[in-house]
Amino acid sequence: MVHKCTQDRGQFLNLSKKSLLIVSAVECSSMATYIIEPSSSGPAERLAEVLQDLGHRLVFIRPNEGDAIPADASDIDALVIMGGAGSAGSDEGWIASAKELVRTLDAAAMPVLGICLGAQIVAHALGGEVGSVEAGYQFGLADIALTPAGRDDPLFAGLGWTHVQMHHHGEAITTLPDGAKSLAKSGDTAVQAFAKGLRTYGFQFHPECTRQRLTSWCSTEASFMDQAGLTLDAFERQLAQANGGFADYERNSSRLLERVALLLMPVDRRFAGTSGDLRH
């Protein structure tokens, strides 16, 4: 079943001192940006807030709560797939359905963005490969380095060629799909960001987190921190440090999220009646 929405059936959550309207999966007729959230601990959060602030109607699909992945893409204006547990190479039902949706939208040149597991799903759906990170689990604030292609990509314009982002992954993309290009890498992860064409992107890192989310991960994701060899004190020091800490992460990710909303998924495409074409 395809989940649709209506804004008068939403519920409000307080995120970063702003009210974010979370639209329920119920009937509406207009195009929408669909966000697949596989895990309650990894919501779109700041990305959803930016998209809504810039005029997007959001529909949330939550497989862990029994929501089905849409088979019909006719009312999807753009797609975001967030992170969560699982592997992009698995035959889990929702992952297989998400891959099919990615292939449909990519073929139609509609905007697609995957984050963490979502990036792996997008890459795998389009012919790439995913595997374990050889250096072990990655968790915490750490630099990514833009590749030459990343330095020229409009989504990363204004960001340092090396800048801090948040990491939380044990698997990563090992082989990109045909026609895709790497936009960023790190010392332990060869593909931190990629693009295929003009409208399909993947970020292995997490640009969407609030400070409260990172604080909550200290308890809910403690086992992953242990795998990464990162103590609670060490993570708190990372967040507090003057250079490369949370303030830098928030600034970098805010710029990136705004450019996603303005360049990759500009809402004016919908109003112009040309939802398949970027206008920037």
Catalytic residues: 116, 206, 208
DSSP code for 163:
E
Between helix 246-259 and helix 46-53 the angle, nearest 10°, is 40
Could you list the beta-strand ranges (E) of 119-277.
129-132, 138-146, 162-169, 171-175, 180-185, 193-196, 200-203
**185, 135 Cβ separation under 8 angstroms:** no
At 155 the three-state DSSP class reads helix
Counting DSSP H helices and E strands in the chain, the numbers are 9, 13
Maximum distance among all Cα pairs of the chain, rounded to whole angstroms:
52
**163, 253 Cβ separation under 8 angstroms:** no
Question: What backbone torsions phi and psi does residue 68 show, to the nearest 5 degrees?
Answer: -90, 145
C-alpha–C-alpha distance, residues 162 and 139, integer Å:
18
* C-alpha pair distances (Å), 138 with each of 2, 13, 73, 75, 204: 35, 30, 34, 36, 11
Residue 237 CB coordination number (10 Å): 12
Backbone CA torsion sign across 152, 42, 35, 54? negative
